[in-house]
Amino acid sequence: MAVVTAKASDLSQIAKRVAGYAALIFFALLFIMPFILTIVTSFKTLPDIQQNPVQLWADPDMGWTLDGIRGLDTSNVRLPRWAFNSFVVTTTVVIGRVFLDSLAGFALAKMKFRGQQVMFASVVMLLAVPGVVLLIPKFLIMKQLGILNSYTGLILPLMFDAFGIFLMKQFFEQLPNEMLEAAAIDGASTWQTFTKVMLPLARPGLIALTILSIQGVWNDFMHPLIAVPGNPDLATLPLGLANIRAAFGNAQPWNTILAGTIIATIPIAIVFFAFQRYFVQGVAGSGTKG
């Protein structure tokens, strides 16, 4: 009787495990399907896309085509220029954001000054403000400063990030204050303590912030839209790909647009998969204290 009960229990556990994996596979396919459809559609002909927009294979009568990729090398599509702009903006913003957010996070976590709590509360409240609400004020400020339609307008407003400050503050708060005291006894200045003691220990947080910043800046559409409204030469990849639709009117080259989207996605996918372990550690570590 005990043997039968044990076998029934084992079968129940196996059934639960199979059901769990089946559910995971189902939801994984559900999330992956749009990306697969994007890849397939970029190699389909335009008539095939119009007739079978969600079909995951090309119509046998129309076949596969490279017209979508060839369309990226036309006068209306300046993919190399857009990719260069995205690279310059992303690299500069990420370096500046990691540096400035780390400084602010360290100050809020380990230094005592008047108005510290009010300043941190302001950062937290800013996180609750939808980004679209700030678009018009941001545009008016950039116009007054005279930095519209320039790399300065694309880069400078993105260097300051409330979430990055919050993330780094949470990391620095995990580090014991005794390390600051030991560094001070050894004669280290505040800057030396920050750069040589605290930053190396906050490496998971820095990597997480770097990955999030790369993903956010590379895929950002709204900020370039208001920062360079009159200079298409400064368009980034998301803005440039969106402008393709306007350039072709009603005859949308969906295969070209989706081919460009895939190319724009590849760098972010490489970064994320290469550093996902550090990213998970960083995000998890930021919530252990605070």
pLDDT digits (tens, 9 = 90+) for 36-66: 888 888 888 888 888 887 788 887 877 788 8
Same domain, 160 and 243: yes
pLDDT tens per residue across span 157-204: 998 888 889 888 888 888 888 888 888 888 888 888 888 888 888 888
Closest CA to 282 of 163, 117, 189, 180: 163
Same domain, 83 and 161: yes
Same domain, 145 and 205: yes
Beta-carbon contacts of 210 under 8 Å, excluding residues fewer than 6 positions away, are 94, 98, 275
Same domain, 205 and 232: yes
d(CA 46, CA 251): 9
Contact 275, 215 (CB under 8 A): no
Q: Work out the pLDDT band at 279, boundaries 50, 70, 90.
A: low
Phi, psi of 133 (to 5 degrees): -65, -30
Same domain, 110 and 248: yes
- How many domains, in total, are found in the chain? 2
Which is more confidently placed, 58 or 6? 58
Phi, psi of 52 (to 5 degrees): -130, 70
Based on C-alpha coordinates, what's the Rg of the chain?
25
290 within a domain of the structure (yes/no):
no
Query: What CATH number is associated with residue 162?
Result: 1.10.3720.10
- Domain end, chosen from 70, 99, 123, is at 70
- Domain end, chosen from 13, 48, 70, is at 70
Parent domain of 61: 2-70
Considering the entire predicted model, what is its pTM? 0.79
pLDDT tens per residue across span 119-135: 888 888 888 888 888 88
Q: What is the pLDDT of residue 41?
A: 86
CA 121 to chain centre: 25
Same domain, 119 and 261: yes
d(CA 284, CA 207): 12
- Domain end, chosen from 54, 70, 86, is at 70
44 within a domain of the structure (yes/no):
yes
Q: What angle do CA 210, 212, 215 make, to 5 degrees?
A: 105
Same domain, 96 and 27: no
Q: Work out the pLDDT band at 246, boundaries 50, 70, 90.
A: low
Same domain, 63 and 121: no
**Rounded alpha-carbon distances, angstroms, from residue 51 to 41, 255, 257:** 12, 14, 18
Q: Is 126 exposed, middle or buried (0-12, 13-18, 19+ CB in 10 A)?
A: middle
Same domain, 118 and 250: yes
Same domain, 127 and 236: yes
Same domain, 218 and 103: yes
